[in-house]
Structure 1
Amino acid sequence: MSLQGKVAIVTGSGRGLGLAYARELARQGAAVVVNDVDAAVAEEAAATITADGGRAVAVVAPVGSTETAKALVNAAVENFGGLDILVTNAGVLRDKSLLKMTDEDFDLVINVHLRGTFTCVREAYAYFKENNVQGRIIAIGSPTGQRGNFGQTNYAAAKAGIVGMVRTWALEMKKAGVTANAVIPVAATAMTKTVPYFAAAVEADERGEAMPDFFRKTLGFGTAEDVAGLIAFLASEEAAGITGQAIGVGGDRLQLWSHPEAVESEYRDGGWSYEDLAEGFPFAGKQQSVGEKFPPLPAELQPETATN
């Protein structure tokens, strides 16, 4: 077991993707602090890991505040003697188009995803530095943070911000031997379960069957367990040289996302005036696309036939 003797915190790990991450870390030998806002869900997750032969303890608290971050680190130290790995997975959704999104919708998502990642990483890194631990920070991003998505101003801002923080932390933590990476999962969740496009994949998964190749290969869309292996790898000693990266995973596909780079450059003596740009914008026809574009579903996977 590659993580034998290690201690991990996984925020938002009562169910879904977070629970899959926690179970895999435990399977690889790590003791795990699981976290959820629902006490019954958190305790059940910890019990599941224990029943599988692992070690786990539950912390019931909403992620976002410094107090919760301190409680999570304290739980790791008090119950298991230290901390080596932090996975920041906790999140909420409040999807609305811009004019319908309230201040409360925006603030809640930013607080849990972005501020919660910041406070937990700050607390974990302080522990790493004080105790000379070459720890692992794994923050969970999203394709929405990379590409944008209709109705998700708050979520896109939070997830893009997380990747920006990871790049900064990779620089700041390098001397201490701590790595910081973002994982961009593409997997069946409570959200994708309601999207007709993914119906055939979700239904196959619920029946305990393999998802059709169109989803696993063409879209790189799979199960929570498909993501968990990358989480455990990035938490391991084998990943000591990997930091500051955004790595996508889903189904049968693994991806390395690029950092933003200039794709076109034009120069003009004296600079670019309004008149110059109005006369001819040099990047016309070269603008970058926004949002994700999915290929058409094969006929046999259309929602009306997939459920027959």
Structure 2
Amino acid sequence: MDLQGKVAVVTGSGRGLGLAYARALAAAGAAVVVNDVDRAAVDAAVATITAAGGRATGAVAAVGDSAAAQLLVDTAVTEFGSLDVLVTNAGILRDRVLWKMTDEDFDDVVRVHLRGTFTCARAAAVRMREQGTGGRLVLISSPAGQRGNFGQTNYAAAKAGVVAMARTWAMELSRAGITVNAVVPVAATEMTRTIPAFAPVIEEAERTGSPLPDWLRKQEGLGTVEDVAALITFLASDAAKDVTGQAIGIGGDRLALWAHPQEKAVALADGGWSAETIAAQWQDGVGAEPESYGIPAPKAPEA
């Protein structure tokens, strides 16, 4: 995939998935602005990319407010002349069950994931529309935002909002030639290492240098951060010029298109519904096949 001449900003790209995205975009020819709150991580990431022959510069900022978003856009334009691709990857976790989650836990996560995506995308969209050459917004979501996840009220809500924004912005930016998609990644990261069914398998693979087992890569869609990066490169490319408004999952050997919410069952009542008539028909009518919720627990194959 050729991204020569493209300029990309990747938020939260000092390590993990974000770094994999930045490295993949640079390897395809794009100039990349690496962003993180950690100066050492930014410098190390830039050094890694440039040592491999890529072009990169760094911007240290905590995404969330408008000033940080504008700094990232300005850095791309000042250093490389334009902005063509934005990947909103920055994030934090403050996991707690509902009755233990504080206002700060909720606000901090929403500020980075949801507000940070909004402010960065808005600044990027303004610049891309001024340039008049289109662009790509790639918003990073999560399975938690699609299904919910125990202990992640803040994170799941923010990541669900990210997909909703992708659908909305795909409509608003289509005339400007700017595509907007949400990516739903699964990879071996610090977060997935905390999942009991995954932890020993990931640790063994890292210890031995062997690949993750086939059941994990296919059944659970869990692989390396590099496995996910291929989708980012595709969405940033001209090959994806007609792909917009989608939520796309990737991990391990799995590539998937997530369904958008839609009515599953409908019933009609002349003159409207009362609580009693809803109760009378619910179990055998609209509610006969309720939707599942939560991320299914992973199951290793029996020995």
TM above 0.5, yes or no, is yes
Deviation at 1:51, TM superposition (A): 0.7
- Do the aligned partners of 1:11 and 1:35 also contact (CA within 8 Å) in 2? yes
Deviation at 1:152, TM superposition (A): 0.4
Deviation at 1:215, TM superposition (A): 0.4
* 1:1-308 correspondence runs (5 A): 2-206=2-206, 207-281=208-282, 282-300=285-303
Q: Which moved more, 1:159-168 or 1:207-216?
A: 207-216
- SS of alignment partner, residue 86 of structure 1: strand
Q: Which residue number corresponds to residue 303 of structure 1? A: none
Deviation at 1:271, TM superposition (A): 1.4
Aligned counterparts of 1:83 and 1:5: Cα–Cα separation in 2: 10
Aligned counterparts of 2:205 and 2:48: Cα–Cα separation in 1: 20
Aligned counterparts of 1:61 and 1:153: Cα–Cα separation in 2: 25
Deviation at 1:21, TM superposition (A): 0.2
Deviation at 1:287, TM superposition (A): 1.1
Deviation at 1:294, TM superposition (A): 3.1
Aligned counterparts of 1:78 and 1:284: Cα–Cα separation in 2: 56
- Do the aligned partners of 2:197 and 2:299 also contact (CA within 8 Å) in 1? no
Deviations 1:30-61, CA, capped at 9 Å, x for gaps: 00000110100111011110111101111111
TM-score (normalizing by structure 2): 0.97
Deviations 1:227-260, CA, capped at 9 Å, x for gaps: 0000000000010000000000000000000110
Aligned counterparts of 1:204 and 1:133: Cα–Cα separation in 2: 47
Deviation at 1:295, TM superposition (A): 4.8
- SS of alignment partner, residue 232 of structure 1: helix
TM-score (normalizing by structure 1): 0.95
- SS of alignment partner, residue 286 of structure 2: coil
Pairwise CA RMSD of aligned residues? 1.1
The runs of 5 or more residues in structure 1 that have no matched partner are 301-308
Deviation at 1:280, TM superposition (A): 3.0
- SS of alignment partner, residue 197 of structure 1: coil
Aligned length: 300
**One-letter code aligned to 2:253:** D
Deviation at 1:201, TM superposition (A): 3.4
- Do the aligned partners of 1:204 and 1:210 also contact (CA within 8 Å) in 2? no
Q: What percentage of residue pairs aligned between the two structures are identical?
A: 60
**One-letter code aligned to 1:238:** A
Aligned counterparts of 2:87 and 2:209: Cα–Cα separation in 1: 27
User: Once superposed, which parts of structure 1, at least 4 consecutive aligned residues long, lie more than 2 Å away?
Assistant: 282-285
Aligned counterparts of 2:287 and 2:33: Cα–Cα separation in 1: 51
- SS of alignment partner, residue 249 of structure 1: strand
Deviation at 1:269, TM superposition (A): 1.4
Deviation at 1:133, TM superposition (A): 2.3
**One-letter code aligned to 1:272:** W
The runs of 5 or more residues in structure 2 that have no matched partner are none
Deviation at 1:274, TM superposition (A): 1.3
Aligned counterparts of 2:135 and 2:204: Cα–Cα separation in 1: 38
Distance 1:121 1:295, change over 3 A: closer
Deviation at 1:208, TM superposition (A): 2.3
- Do the aligned partners of 1:141 and 1:182 also contact (CA within 8 Å) in 2? yes
- SS of alignment partner, residue 165 of structure 2: helix
Aligned counterparts of 1:121 and 1:203: Cα–Cα separation in 2: 36
- SS of alignment partner, residue 78 of structure 2: helix
Q: Which moved more, 1:50-59 or 1:197-206?
A: 197-206
**One-letter code aligned to 1:130:** E
Distance 1:149 1:240, change over 3 A: same
